[in-house]
Every structure is written in C-alpha cells, then in structure tokens.
Amino acid sequence: MSRKRVTRGAACCAAALLILPACSSDGDGKDKVEDRTSGTSSADTGDGGQEGNGVGDLSAREISDKAKRELLDAKSVHISMRATGADATKDTDSDSDGDSDSDSDSDDMASMELTLDRDDNCVGSMKMANGAALDLVKRGDKVWMKPNRAFWKTQVPGGEGEAAAEIFKNRYIHGSTSDTMLKEVTGICDLGKIQKDIQDDTDDESKSLAKGEPTTVDGTGAIPLTGKDDGKETTLYVATEGKPYLLKAVEKGDGDDTTTTFSDYDKPVPSKTPSPDESVDVSKLQDQLQKI
C-alpha cells in the first residue's frame, strides 16, 4: 500500500460519490419510477409525521439538483466512508504487522472520518484494509499527521519501519504544506476543490435516477434515488426534513461496497490542534528517512 493509496484512494471514493449523477427521464418526461408521494401534502412525505421540506413531491431530477446545490453551497461538512471489496484491499503489502492478515479478503474494510471546510481546514482519520491508519489535523498551512505502527511498517522497508514506528509512536508529525509529504496527505482537506469537481462534472453518459419508497437515515426522513453507472448500483438518500441535504450514498458492484454518509453541514471544523508535547517536527522524520 502506497501513501497515495491511503490518502487519494479515500478522497476519490468520497469525491466520486459527492458528484451526483445527472438524472434522465423516459420519453414522456416522467421519472422511470412513479412518485409514490404524489397527491399528498409536503408535511406527509414519509418522514415519520415530521414537517417535510416538499422534496417528496418533486421528480428525481429536481431532488438530485437540490441536493447537489446544497453540497455546492456548504461551508463545511463531515464525511464518513466505509468500503469493502477490491478497492479496500488493493495494494496492501504482505509484510504488514500482526494487526492484519497478509491475505486480505473481501470482508476487509477501509474507512475514513473527515470534517473539512472551504478554507482547507480538516480533522479526521483514515484506515486501510491492511490496518495501516493515520490521524490528520490541518489548520491553515499547518499540518499534524499521526500514523499508526502498521502505517510505518508498510511505508518504510525492512526493520527501519519498526524503528520509525517506535521513534514516532503516539506522536504527530508536525509541519506545513510546504513539506511535500504533508502536502500530499492533506490533498483531501479541500472542500472547495471537491465542490469545483462537482460543479465542473461534464459526464454525458446516459444515467438515470428513480425515486424509491420514503425511509429514514439516522432518524431523518429521506427519499432514496437509485440508478446504475458503469455497471454499479448507486443509491442516494436525500433529506425530506429541513434542507434537502445528501445524507448517504451507497455504491455496489464489481465486488465493491462503499457507503458514504454526510452530516454536520456548515458546522465549523474543530479548531483544537495537537500540543507541542504530542508532536515531532517533520525535519526529524526526514532525518530518519535519510538514514534508511
């Protein structure tokens, strides 16, 4: 597993699901699945009796457009991702430590928890299926990264990985985005970049979304929009209470299963940063790597 795989792999999974598919309709302009809530009031859209926001009465295209607009307007958001299958286990190294098996199977899981904003601040954690993981804090151009032992052993060859794990154990590597390594890791922290990718998406492939039965996501009323893209089944859950936020996206196919949830829209990224006692300057890491 490469460092790029840890960071960019997680970011790509999240960003790909953030880009809502365009919604096509059949020849007469109606959605492929009838709106089962037509004829009901906006307060009765399958949201458990709570006051609805009216999206249950809209077409799948209109609902997806509203959810996309909320993502584009968000100042910050929390993303939680869980992935199993080939994408989660690909590129893992056979010499990882005892925290994981060398032969990862399809049930191994990669995960990410990340709160990020338009100012390029973020707080979060990532874990790959082979057990390699890191915690990340970014505030302005300042970066703190705390890898676990499995991360060091898969990134640094031979016994030097074990040595690095011991030297930097339970401490953050601290530096700035001027350092190449730290800058690469923090590439996932820019909500503005993700939003630009959403805005600039020009995929003209024939895609469709169809409305499903009203349901709930973590206690919030939601309407599912289902469709297929490149052979994978995708379901987007859009809130029918409050603002029409995208609450969850599920993608299945080709042996992969990825679930991404979105919450805490517009809530500030936590501003607390690790103390000097918890940190080691990145220059010490660079000195250690030069000895290898």
Three-state secondary-structure class, residue 158:
coil
- Extract the tokens encoding 223: 């309407």
How confident is the model over 172-189, as pLDDT tens digits? 999 999 988 788 888 888
Three-state secondary-structure class, residue 286:
helix
Say if residue 44's pLDDT is above 80.
no
Mean of the per-residue pLDDT values of the chain: 75
- Extract the tokens encoding 60: 């799948």
Average pLDDT over residues 109-132: 91
Q: What is the pLDDT of residue 215?
A: 96
Strands in 122-255 per DSSP E: 122-127, 133-139, 142-147, 172-176, 210-211, 215-217, 220-229, 232-239, 246-253
The CA–CA distances, whole Å, from 11 to 1, 93, 283 equal 15, 20, 26
pLDDT band at 218 (very low <50, low <70, confident <90, very high): very high
Q: Which pairing describes strands 172-176 and 279-281: parallel, antiparallel, or unpaired?
A: parallel
Say if residue 195's pLDDT is above 70.
yes
Average pLDDT over residues 145-162: 83
Q: What percent of the chain has pLDDT over 70?
A: 70
Q: What percent of the chain has pLDDT over 90?
A: 39
Residues 6+ apart with CB under 8 A from 109: 82, 83, 84, 88, 129
Say if residue 123's pLDDT is above 80.
yes
How confident is the model over 220-253, as pLDDT tens digits? 999 999 988 777 888 999 999 999 999 999 988 8
> Phi/psi of residue 290, each to 5°?
-70, -20
